Amino acid sequence: MGLIVQKFGGTSVADADRIRNVARIITETYRRGHNVVAVLSAQGDTTDDLIAKAAEINPNASKREMDMLLSTGEQISCSLCAMAIEAMGYPVISLTGWQAGMRTNSTYSNARIKRIATERVLAELDKKAIVIVTGFQGINKYDDITTLGRGGSDTSAVALAAALHADLCQIYTDVDGVYTADPRHVQGARKLEEITFDEMLELATLGAQVLHNRSVEMAKRYNVNLEVISSFSGKPGTKVKEVAKTMEKSHVSGVAKDKNVARLALVGLADQPGIAFKIFSLLAKEHVNVDIILQSIGRNDTKDISFTVSKQDMELARKVLEENAESLGFDRIDFNDQIAKVSIVGAGMINNPGVAAAMFEALYSAGININMISTSEIKVSVLVDINDADRAVQVVHDRFFSDFGVGN
Amino acid sequence: MGLIVQKFGGTSVADADRIRNVARIITETYRRGHNVVAVLSAQGDTTDDLIAKAAEINPNASKREMDMLLSTGEQISCSLCAMAIEAMGYPVISLTGWQAGMRTNSTYSNARIKRIATERVLAELDKKAIVIVTGFQGINKYDDITTLGRGGSDTSAVALAAALHADLCQIYTDVDGVYTADPRHVQGARKLEEITFDEMLELATLGAQVLHNRSVEMAKRYNVNLEVISSFSGKPGTKVKEVAKTMEKSHVSGVAKDKNVARLALVGLADQPGIAFKIFSLLAKEHVNVDIILQSIGRNDTKDISFTVSKQDMELARKVLEENAESLGFDRIDFNDQIAKVSIVGAGMINNPGVAAAMFEALYSAGININMISTSEIKVSVLVDINDADRAVQVVHDRFFSDFGVGN
């Protein structure tokens, strides 16, 4: 008996049958005596269809009008879901972002939630209604509709769970939970019962796109109990918490792969103070996000600086640096987008220095060359050739998760 | 230089090209120095598609959720139109019903506008923006979305024109204006330059569905200058006013046909006082709208009462009356749904008693039998066999509008 926020993504509400399935999950929770607030995304391809409609009319439409357009997607899925619940005989009401009090800032298409005026939702819950809220959207101080950008519906759900002091926030999706590696590509990948917020954050950043980072960060900040769970299988999912209750046997929670990586290297830089600052502030000015950075001693009192960016930013980064070749003073730029990042994540890692070594050993034994290394408290990332990436994930996963693995 | 409200129906915004066409009409008006508020319906079949989606999930969905669903249609067309206007380089903003301050009562799916809080629209006009407002919708006192029912977008436009004291309200549609008869079926039908509100009301009621009655009634009440005009032809339309400035040559403004008519006759009613009251209050209780009523003397101190209803109400009316056969005391019920109503409308009619006679003569000459007659100050309606209906409209139209016609 408590308050549960449940979020359902676009594939979970893609057609009438799936909406009925979602309605069943919601009403079963309600029948067990819980108050339920459900947050829904737009159906399947609705958002893409609306974007295509807009592009046909104006490829440079203002974000304000795009948000006005796109916000209809969730309004449709939510009203349809409410109708499905009505058909099952339960009290229900659907609310848009503005009706549910989701107040955001004014960054159209990528707004941040500022606060939630919960009066209406609480009033409906008091009346014992199931409340269905449109994800991904809110209104700003001008009473204009805003959308939250990527992962927006997850963020809506976590924010509502925080504001309503919900006992649990369940993120229903098309996967069973969080795995030690991508189960579609890695043999022996196992579902985790629990994972910490920090581990989840690293995994999300590393390309395991089960939950968007913004929602995990918010859940961590407000200590919202999260659960990632399948809307199709009916099995228990993965709990995401501040501290995992039952520490997993392994120090490593998961292995992730990110192919959207490109590496640039400035070779033969003069060894002046402030040169790194110069380089990265030039890139920041162009909104190029830099990930791993390595600096090494070159020949003849020069040094080399290597760093990674996303593939789509590589050309821009190159252009910016070449335009400033004179003031930076380097011999040449090397670049490579045929690489991938493979990472292990685990809160137990920091107290166990053998973990990184075990990863490197597994890669070495498989004949996979390591290009660059980066470590943090709960993560070790390596760059490898893109053709080695899948095998690298598998051998690293085998090393930490096979039943006969050493070092666990 | 003034304020013009322009309304565009579903066919006028059906696809990207038509939306661009609407954007051109709006921006041309704006370039001539006017403030423009445009009210749009949902695109083409959007509303029907949404209704089909709902029916698949719950054929008995609540009207509250239906309104939540259907209101997305206009939000889509309005944001797309705003994008088209942005692409042409004009300042523009789209507003939903609630953003535009359309406050309604709480009769979901058939709400009435109570008042319009015009602050937002006026503020946008002050900024010299073109304002695009979703037709057909508003919000009630609970901040829930309502829709206005049939003809709702026309009503939204006229209500906005009244609240904003607009100089003109143009109803753009797929016809050129108001005709003396349906130009698709009647040879020689002519477009009227002007028509009075009352004539328009009668024509709308009689099946010439250019403008919905609710919008004409509201225009009459607030003395809003209306114009019915084509969004495709570019020709001047028909002005609808309190008093038509240039009186048309003819006393008759138009000929209309309504095939959605059924006639019932109670034969052999006892001649008691209050019997008509009994009959029609029974029907009113079942929400059966009765149109023409005729009472005549029958045989042996009995009387007959005939009346017309819409075809879909005929069975219900019959059932109600048969269930009360004993208390009403009649010999039998006759009924006939193979009939049509043909009417002439004209503000000049009342001072010209020859008009009705001329109509009857035209029908008689064509060998068309008249079933029932009803007259008002500005209208004469007759019931004829459904197979005679089209010919009846043509011969009556010929009588009043052919260049060689007599009695004009």
Which of B40, B53, B68 to substitute to test the interface with A, most A CBs within 10 Å?
A: B68
pLDDT in tens, A172-184: 988 888 888 888 8
Q: How far B186 CA sits from the closest chain A CA (Å)?
A: 39
Query: From CA A110, how far away is CA A187, in angstroms rounded?
Result: 37
Whole-number Cα distances in Å, A296 to A266, A271, A284, B37: 10, 11, 22, 64
pLDDT in tens, B194-253: 888 988 888 766 655 678 888 988 999 999 999 999 888 878 899 998 876 554 455 788
Sequence-distant (6+) residues with CB within 8 A of A275 are: A269, A303, A305, A328
CA angle B138, B141, B144 (to 5 degrees): 55
Whole-number Cα distances in Å, A10 to A14, A25, A151, A297: 6, 16, 11, 50
Choice between A274 and B148, residue whose per-residue pLDDT is larger: B148
Query: From CA B263, how far away is CA A304, in angstroms rounded?
Result: 95
- Residue B76 in contact with partner chain A when CB distance is under 8 A: yes
Asked if A83 and B61 come within 8 Å (Cβ–Cβ), the reply is yes
**What's the first-to-final CA gap in chain A, in angstroms?**
39
Q: Tell me, what's the pLDDT at A407?
A: 38
Q: Crossing angle of helices B72-87/A72-87, nearest 10°?
A: 170
Give B79's contacts in chain A (Cβ within 8 Å): 54, 65-66, 68-69
Query: From CA B5, how far away is CA B7, in angstroms rounded?
Result: 7
Asked if A78 and B86 come within 8 Å (Cβ–Cβ), the reply is no
Q: In what order do the strands lie in the sheet with B332-345?
A: B290-297, B302-309, B254-270, B332-345, B379-385, B372-376
Query: From CA B75, how far away is CA A72, in angstroms rounded?
Result: 7
- Residue A86 in contact with partner chain B when CB distance is under 8 A: yes
Give B82's contacts in chain A (Cβ within 8 Å): 62, 65, 68
Compute the average pLDDT of residues B292-296: 80
pLDDT in tens, B326-380: 888 888 999 999 999 999 988 777 667 678 888 888 999 999 988 888 877 788 8
Q: Tell me, what's the pLDDT at B301?
A: 77
- Residue B240 in contact with partner chain A when CB distance is under 8 A: no
By residue count, chain A amounts to: 408
pLDDT in tens, B56-107: 999 999 999 999 999 999 999 999 999 999 999 999 999 999 999 999 999 9
pLDDT in tens, B159-184: 999 999 999 999 998 888 888 888 88
* Proportion of chain B above pLDDT 70, given as a percent: 94
Query: From CA A258, how far away is CA A208, in angstroms rounded?
Result: 8
Q: Tell me, what's the pLDDT at B140?
A: 97
**What's the first-to-final CA gap in chain B, in angstroms?**
39
- Residue B143 in contact with partner chain A when CB distance is under 8 A: yes
pLDDT in tens, A66-119: 999 999 999 999 999 999 999 999 999 999 999 999 999 999 999 999 999 999
Closest residue on chain A to B94 (Cα):
A65
Collapsed DSSP state (helix, strand, coil) of residue B94: strand
Compute the average pLDDT of residues B265-272: 84
Q: Tell me, what's the pLDDT at A405?
A: 40
Nearest to A58 among B65, B84, B120 (CB): B84
Give B96's contacts in chain A (Cβ within 8 Å): 68, 145
Give B72's contacts in chain A (Cβ within 8 Å): 72, 75-76
Q: How far B70 CA sits from the closest chain A CA (Å)?
A: 8
Query: Which residue is listed with tokens 């439409």?
Result: A61
Query: From CA B172, how far away is CA B3, in angstroms rounded?
Result: 16
Q: Tell me, what's the pLDDT at B296?
A: 77
Alpha helices (runs of H) in A105-196, residue ranges in sequence order: 119-126, 152-163
* pTM recorded for the entire structure: 0.81
Asked if B86 and A62 come within 8 Å (Cβ–Cβ), the reply is yes
Taking only Cα atoms into account, the Rg of chain A, rounded to an integer number of angstroms, comes to 24
Q: How far B120 CA sits from the closest chain A CA (Å)?
A: 9
Sequence-distant (6+) residues with CB within 8 A of A398 are: A187, A188, A362, A405
Q: How far A97 CA sits from the closest chain B CA (Å)?
A: 12
Whole-number Cα distances in Å, B275 to A100, A149, B374: 55, 68, 21
Mean pLDDT (chain B) is 89
Tens-binned pLDDT, residue by residue, of chain A (408 aa): 699 999 999 999 999 999 999 999 999 999 999 999 999 999 988 999 999 999 999 999 999 999 999 999 999 999 999 999 999 999 999 999 999 999 999 999 999 999 999 999 999 999 999 999 999 999 999 999 999 987 899 999 999 999 999 999 999 988 888 888 888 888 888 888 888 888 888 876 665 567 888 898 899 999 999 999 988 887 889 999 887 655 445 578 889 898 999 999 998 888 777 788 888 888 888 888 888 888 777 677 788 888 999 998 999 999 999 999 888 888 899 999 999 999 998 877 766 767 888 888 899 999 998 888 887 778 888 999 999 999 999 999 999 887 544 333
The residue type of A195 is I
Asked if A68 and B82 come within 8 Å (Cβ–Cβ), the reply is yes
Q: How far B372 CA sits from the closest chain A CA (Å)?
A: 46
Query: From CA B361, how far away is CA A379, in angstroms rounded?
Result: 96
Query: From CA B255, how far away is CA B344, in angstroms rounded?
Result: 5
Query: From CA B209, how far away is CA B182, in angstroms rounded?
Result: 10
Whole-number Cα distances in Å, A156 to A8, A66, A197, B131, B165: 11, 19, 17, 30, 41
Whole-number Cα distances in Å, A339 to A197, A313, A360, B208, B302: 28, 14, 17, 69, 99
* Dihedral sign, Cα of residue B100, residue B105, residue B106, residue B111: negative
Asked if B68 and A75 come within 8 Å (Cβ–Cβ), the reply is yes
Query: From CA A180, how far away is CA A178, in angstroms rounded?
Result: 7
* Range in A150-159, B3-12, B399-408 the model is least confident about: B399-408
Asked if B86 and A56 come within 8 Å (Cβ–Cβ), the reply is no
CA angle B99, B101, B103 (to 5 degrees): 125
Pairing of strands B332-345, B379-385: antiparallel
Asked if A65 and B86 come within 8 Å (Cβ–Cβ), the reply is yes
Compute the average pLDDT of residues B307-319: 92
Query: From CA B220, how far away is CA B271, in angstroms rounded?
Result: 41
Give B86's contacts in chain A (Cβ within 8 Å): 58, 60-62, 65
CA angle B55, B57, B62 (to 5 degrees): 70
* Strands (E) located in A346-393: 372-376, 379-385
Structure tokens at B408: 């004009």
Cβ A209 vs Cβ A153: under 8 Å: no
Query: From CA B214, how far away is CA B204, in angstroms rounded?
Result: 10
Please tell me the class of the B3-174 domain: alpha beta
Give A86's contacts in chain B (Cβ within 8 Å): 58, 60-62, 65
Collapsed DSSP state (helix, strand, coil) of residue B62: coil
- Residue A51 in contact with partner chain B when CB distance is under 8 A: no
Structure tokens at B232: 């495709």
Q: Categorise residue B52: left if φ over 0, alpha if ψ from -120 to 50, beta otherwise.
A: alpha
Which of B26, B40, B65 to substitute to test the interface with A, most A CBs within 10 Å?
A: B65
Query: Which residue is listed with tokens 């339920």?
Result: A36
Asked if A16 and B57 come within 8 Å (Cβ–Cβ), the reply is yes
Q: Tell me, what's the pLDDT at B366?
A: 93
Q: Tell me, what's the pLDDT at A206?
A: 61
Give B60's contacts in chain A (Cβ within 8 Å): 86-87
| Domain boundaries of chain A, sorted by first residue | 3-174
- Residue B21 in contact with partner chain A when CB distance is under 8 A: no
Query: From CA A66, how far away is CA B94, in angstroms rounded?
Result: 11
* Strands (E) located in B242-331: 254-270, 290-297, 302-309
Choice between A312 and B37, residue whose per-residue pLDDT is larger: B37
Closest residue on chain B to A56 (Cα):
B16
Give A80's contacts in chain B (Cβ within 8 Å): 53-54, 57, 69
Q: Tell me, what's the pLDDT at B177?
A: 86
Taking only Cα atoms into account, the Rg of chain B, rounded to an integer number of angstroms, comes to 24
ipTM over 0.85: no
Provide the CB-side half-sphere exposure for B145 (13 A, CA): 31
- Residue A26 in contact with partner chain B when CB distance is under 8 A: no
